[in-house]
Amino acid sequence: MKGKHILKVISNLITSLLFIVLLVTFFAVITMKASGGEANLFGYQLKTVLSGSMEPDIQTGSIIAIKETDDQRNFQKGDVITFQSNDMLITHRIIDVKNNGQQYITQGDANDAPDMDPVLSDSIVGVYKGFTIPYVGYVMNFANSSEGAALLLVLPGACLLLFSIVTIWRALRSIDQSKKNVGTDAK
């Protein structure tokens, strides 16, 4: 009897966990799609790092948190900023400030030379705040694709459905077994 109770608790736990994963995934995918693929958490944008220019501090495939800023002229030498350049977002360190903060000279930590073009203050999206999670960026990029969004929604749902079918089948089998036992006891 104790074993059945433990199995029931485990079954309920797995069902709850699968349901929570499905809901979290659903809301994460919907939020990312609604915001144009940009995950936003407590005022921080989560960005995927696709190159090794900032290694070893920021590894390729990591996600980083950047704080959006309205004041693009308040950065100093050593700050790590994310800026728009030729339809790409780049995260590099400021190595020099020009024209009272209207232009910044940047360089990736792993690069041998500064970036070719100075960064105009209007191009700055935000500042890196030191929060990074290695390798999760690969998952975020996959989740932003059509195939990834579908898989991340369908897979937990299919697991929940399969687990529910197995649970219902076991319950029906248990009821049938109880009826057989009652019929045997009456004779």
Q: Which residues are catalytic?
A: 51
Amino acid 63 reads I
SS3 88: strand
- Interatomic CA distance for residues 7 and 119, integer angstroms: 60
- Interatomic CA distance for residues 92 and 159, integer angstroms: 42
Locate 106 and state its tokens: 């940047």
Query: Which are the contacts of 161, defined by CB distance < 8 A and separation ≥ 6?
Result: none
| CA-CA-CA-CA torsion sign (166, 172, 178, 181) | negative
Please provide the distance, in angstroms rounded to a whole number, between the alpha carbons at the two ends of the chain: 25
In what helix (H) or strand (E) does residue 105 lie, and over which residues does it extend? strand 103-107
